[in-house]
Amino acid sequence: MLPLYVTSGEPAGIGPDICLSLADRIDERPIVVLADINMLRDRAKILNKNIEIIEFMGQTESSASGQLYVEHVPLYEDVVLGELNPQNSAYVLEQLHRSADYAMSGKSVGVATAPVQKSVINDAGIHFSGHTEYYQEFAGVNRVVMMLATKTLRVALATTHLPLRDVADAITKARLHQVIDILIHDLKTKFKINHPRILVCGLNPHAGEGGYLGREEIDTINPVLEDYRTQGIDMSLSMPADTLFTPENLKNADAVLAMYHDQGLPVLKSQGFGEAINITLGLPFIRTSVDHGTALSLAGTGLAKGSSLHVAVDLALDLARN
């Protein structure tokens, strides 16, 4: 049975800690962590975890409780807990490279990712915008969509890691068509929602207030949404974000499309931080991720919670069954 790979992310952060918590699971499908095996063994000792860490050599059986499969990826330098080291940036990127390569070549069912620290990778002289953009480039697809989800809410983003001053210019009819096409396709194919109902945030306060607070809704967003509505897609016109996220509006929605990162994600994370997950739509393979960062100050303390990683693994396994 093909494995699910899990990247351990930034070695000085909590990624290795939460990956060790995967040893508590019993899954039919093998789960394999990409990490320096010696570093993981050292971290387990620091955390007083009695785990049998097994080097993965192509086993197809699932691990037992208390066991963890690890594919060894060697560090470049020893890790100091909580201290970023640009010399290990290539180690982090090797995890991503292997996970993407295995998924693209049919050697795995997909990947779940622990957090990385974008800043230290850029400090190493390597341009890196994030996991989402890395996997997009590796897969050679024109557009991917970042969607975060809790048990009760899914929020997809029209734009992702852009400065706020650049967002309006980035929201074009072409981009919106690409994003919405991917969102509808993956809701139907990956999540098995045959007739998704999608609510869409406006860009401006009050969705532009009829043009008095901006014309993006009138000139760009609503004309695109009308195209889908005439095709029978259950999609709102642009709605003020401050009232869209109310229980009455959300109770029958399958997903929300937000125009920018901090428009939709604070609401979602306030509902389920630590148990939300990130899904990259539009890739030819499954990729899920945690909803949090590297939490450098918690590394090796035993205070890091692995709940988001477990939910990410659960969803990846569920999607692999579909």
Boundaries of domain holding 212: 143-280
- Hunting for tokens 């604070």 — which residue is that? 266
CA distance 35 to 21: 14
- If asked whether residues 126 and 233 sit together in one domain, one would say no
CATH label of the domain that carries residue 61:
3.40.718.10
- If asked whether residues 247 and 160 sit together in one domain, one would say yes
Q: Cite the annotated binding site by residue number.
A: 131-132, 161, 206, 261, 269, 278, 287
Q: Cite the annotated binding site for substrate by residue number.
A: 131-132, 269, 278, 287
Residue 5: strand, helix, or coil? strand
Q: What is the pLDDT of residue 228?
A: 98
Q: What is the mean pLDDT of residues 304-310?
A: 92
Say if residue 52's pLDDT is above 90.
Answer: yes
pLDDT digits (tens, 9 = 90+) for 111-131: 999 999 999 999 999 999 889
Q: What is the mean pLDDT of residues 20-49?
A: 96
The alpha helices in 157-306, defined as continuous H runs, are 164-170, 173-189, 216, 222-230, 241-244, 247-250, 261-272
Say if residue 264 is exposed, middle or buried (CB neighbours under 10 Å; 0-12, 13-18, 19+). buried
Number of structural domains in the chain: 2
- If asked whether residues 8 and 103 sit together in one domain, one would say yes
pLDDT digits (tens, 9 = 90+) for 230-284: 999 999 999 999 999 999 999 999 999 999 999 998 998 887 766 788 999 999 9
pTM for the predicted model, two decimal places: 0.89
Q: What is the mean pLDDT of residues 167-192?
A: 96
Q: Cite the annotated binding site for a divalent metal cation by residue number.
A: 161, 206, 261
Q: What percent of the chain has pLDDT over 70?
A: 99
- If asked whether residues 111 and 205 sit together in one domain, one would say no
- If asked whether residues 158 and 36 sit together in one domain, one would say no
CA distance 96 to 83: 21
Q: What is the pLDDT of residue 152?
A: 87
- If asked whether residues 5 and 130 sit together in one domain, one would say yes
